[in-house]
């Protein structure tokens, strides 16, 4: 792996940032300048435009972390581990964003910082599982064994996601289907911000992969000397 050039990756990363920056600038303009103010919640509702896409991005990354972890367990090539670690870590960052913006919105809309409603509770449990992953990787050496341990954790965590969904849904005894109907300008803004955040997630993940690979190389160099 030390022989492969990082140039294509660096190029992909640069492309992702080049797309992500104007996309987010445009999306933010739409959020603040174009999207109408919602009647019941006021401007705070606009948190939705980055809160939900962050959750979507996080879910995508969590799935990728599972995929790459499973691939690593199957064929122990370090690249899968680097990809798994990057996906899980960036996914965790976006989960953190969800958990921080959710309560701010909640405080504004419900008067309380936290309500044990299904979506937020699921996000919290997911966040706990992936914080465990991040901590594990922080505290362990960069070797094959630790990578395997992390991979098993990522697989188990992902298998747990549907069970968490179900459990949290029933826990709240009364299931409130949150029907959201968006007026066209809002829907447009949401699509824009969704695309923007997904691009941002992609850029961050590619960056994290590149850092991971650089660190692998540095480790290999240090071990040789």
Partner 1 sequence: MSGFLRVAWEVFRKDFREELRRKENIASSFFFAFLSLVLFSFSLDPSLVDLPRTGGGLLWLIVLFAGSLFMGNIFRKETENGTLQGLLLCPVDRGAIFLGKYLVNLLFLLLLEILLWLFAYLLLDIRPGGRLLDLAVVWVAVSVGYAALGTLFAALIVQVRGGQVIYPILLFPVLIPLFMAAVSLTRRVVSGHGVWDSPWLRLTVLFDILFFTASLVLFDFAVEE
Partner 2 sequence: MIETVKLLMMDAAAHPPDTSRYMAAAYFVIGTVLTAYYLFLWSRGRRAEEE
Q: Which residues bind partner 2 (CB under 8 A)?
A: 28, 36-47, 50-51, 54, 93, 96-97, 100-101, 104-105, 107-108, 110, 115, 117, 174, 176-183, 185-186, 200, 204, 207-208, 210-211, 214-215, 217-218, 221-222
- Judged by beta carbon, residue 33 or residue 177, the one nearer partner 1 is 177
| Window 95 to 154, contacts with partner 1 (CB under 8 A) | 125, 128-129, 131-132, 135-136, 139-141, 145-146, 148-149, 151-153
Q: Are 22 and 100 in contact (CB under 8 A)?
A: no
| Segment holding 98, helix H or strand E | helix 78-110
Query: Measured at the alpha carbon of residue 92, what is the angle toward residues 201 and 145, in degrees to the nearest 5?
Result: 110
CA dist 170 and 115 (Å) reads 15
Partner that binds at residue 175, options partner 2, partner 1, none, CB closer than 5 to 8 Å by kind: none
CB neighbours of residue 110 within 10 Å: 13
Indicate the residue among 4 and 140 with the shorter CB distance to partner 1.
Answer: 140
DSSP 105-138: HHHHHHSSS----HHHHHHHHHHHHHHHHHHHHH
- When the beta carbons of 137 and 208 are compared against partner 1, the nearer one is 137
Contact letters for partner 1, residues 60-89 (x by CB under 8 A)? -------------x----------------
Based on CB atoms, which residue is closest to partner 2, 15 or 156? 15
Q: Among residues 104 and 135, whose Cβ is nearest to partner 1?
A: 135
Q: What are phi and psi of 12, to 5 degrees?
A: -60, -40
DSSP string, 9-41: HHHHHHHHHHHHHHHHHHHHHIIIIISPPBTTT
Toward partner 2, which CB reaches closer, 41 or 136? 41
Contacted entry of partner 1, partner 2, none for residue 141, CB cut-off 5 to 8 Å set by kind: partner 1
> Alpha-carbon torsion 85, 88, 89, 90, what sign?
positive
Binding-site ranges for partner 1 (CB under 8 A): 73, 125, 128-129, 131-132, 135-136, 139-141, 145-146, 148-149, 151-153, 155-157, 159-160, 163-164, 166-168, 170-171
């Amino acid at each position: 792996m030390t022989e492969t050039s990082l140039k294509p990756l660096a190029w992909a990363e640069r492309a992702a940032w080049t797309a992500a920056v104007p996309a987010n600038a445009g999306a933010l303009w739409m959020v603040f300048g174009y999207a109408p103010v919602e009647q019941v919640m006021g401007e705070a509702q606009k948190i939705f435009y980055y809160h939900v896409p962050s959750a979507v991005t996080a879910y995508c990354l969590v799935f990728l972390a599972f995929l790459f972890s499973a691939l690593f367990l199957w064929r122990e090539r370090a690249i899968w581990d680097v990809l798994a670690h990057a996906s899980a870590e960036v996914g965790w960052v976006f989960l953190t964003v969800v958990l921080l913006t959710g309560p701010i919105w909640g405080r504004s809309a419900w008067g309380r910082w936290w309500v044990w409603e299904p979506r937020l509770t699921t996000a919290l449990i997911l966040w706990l599982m992936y914080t465990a992953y991040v901590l594990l990787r922080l505290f362990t050496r960069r070797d094959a064994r630790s990578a395997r341990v992390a991979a098993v954790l990522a697989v188990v965590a992902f298998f747990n996601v549907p069970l968490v969904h179900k459990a949290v849904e029933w826990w709240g005894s009364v299931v409130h289907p949150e029907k959201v109907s968006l007026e066209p300008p809002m829907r447009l803004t949401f699509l824009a911000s969704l695309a923007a955040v997904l691009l941002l997630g992609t850029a961050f993940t590619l960056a994290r992969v590149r850092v991971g690979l650089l660190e692998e190389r540095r480790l290999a160099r240090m071990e040789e000397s």
